[in-house]
Chain A
């Protein structure tokens, strides 16, 4: 939104409209197929789980879905003792 828009459209309705557009675009897409961000999340976690045992308590996943861009943040704390590859013990 540029400065001119700010002056042209006042009030809270434009904000509501934009929020809904982003949300509904996402929800409609997901009715037919899982969204990319969720797929990435699942696969990244699976890869990590193959190499280290992660305690779910040390794992935080956050997302922020935007109109043109979304962010996915996966924050994992890996305790050094459990950071050995699982493949070794198998």
Chain B
């Protein structure tokens, strides 16, 4: 059975979809079979970030309602053979997802794929709870900022209470992924530090993704940042995080502000 990983946060816009695409692609690049499932019913976006928006025929709701087979709804990535996307539907009816239906889909996926990444919608309501319901592990995407950390804490509470694993008395493996980390602001003490975040959430760290123009560029191009240019700092951080998710022990290095000659001459924004 493959691993089911929910990418969640509570707070909106912190980088769940970006992270789902980047982590999923990074794992798939190593040859593992990976499915990305968009749970953001009504507001799907993972298809755009993956560059598959023109190829969506069927979606998760079609599969659950039986109008399409799972194999028909899965879209194979054009760059990485082992990477697949199951899009969310654009329907306004949020109750289109049933717990039973979602359970069946996740079960089938995890019998075929090594990893199933579930891109959660924002919030702590039904949609977010369904996305996490059948997860074995959780990536909690957090920005180093008070409201995001607070929402992460609430999500951690839900993960420990409302998942099938938790209800069986098992532990769901949780990892904090700090994204949009701005080393310059951290150096000026304007941002919660990594230590602050980890201490408050007391959950292990999966990685630190720097704030980066390359993330925007990748989404413009419709490519996960780990595929469009695997050498930039955000991509490298995601690739390392993906390795940790697979169990590799890699130390996390906190990005720091390098103040070179040019920075001192022209101000800090040169890089």
Residues of A within 8 A of B (CB): 11-13, 15-16, 19, 22-23, 27, 41, 56-57, 59-66
Known A-B contacts A19-B48, A57-B69; the reply to A63 vs B220 at CB < 8 A is no
Residues of B within 8 A of A (CB): 48, 51, 53-58, 68-69, 71-72, 90, 216-217, 219-222
A13–B219 alpha-carbon span in the complex (Å):
10
A66–B54 alpha-carbon span in the complex (Å):
7
A57–B69 alpha-carbon span in the complex (Å):
7
Top 10 closest pairs, chain A to chain B, by CB: A16-B220, A12-B220, A65-B54, A12-B217, A56-B69, A23-B53, A12-B221, A63-B57, A61-B57, A64-B54
Say whether B53 contacts A19, CB under 8 Å: yes
Q: With a CB–CB cut-off of 8 A, which chain B residues contact A57? A: 69, 71
Known A-B contacts A56-B69, A57-B71, A61-B72; the reply to A15 vs B57 at CB < 8 A is no
Say whether A56 contacts B72, CB under 8 Å: yes
Besides A12-B221, A23-B54, A56-B72, 12 more A-B contacts (Cβ < 8 Å) are A12-B220, A13-B220, A15-B221, A15-B222, A16-B221, A23-B53, A59-B72, A62-B55, A63-B54, A63-B56, A64-B55, A66-B54
A22–B56 alpha-carbon span in the complex (Å):
13
Say whether B72 contacts A60, CB under 8 Å: yes
Q: With a CB–CB cut-off of 8 A, which chain B residues contact A16? A: 219-221
Q: Which residue of A lies closest to B71 (CB)?
A: A57
Q: Which residue of B lies closest to A38 (CB)?
A: B57
Q: Which residue of A lies closest to B66 (CB)?
A: A56
Q: With a CB–CB cut-off of 8 A, which chain A residues contact B55? A: 62-65
Q: With a CB–CB cut-off of 8 A, which chain B residues contact A60? A: 71-72
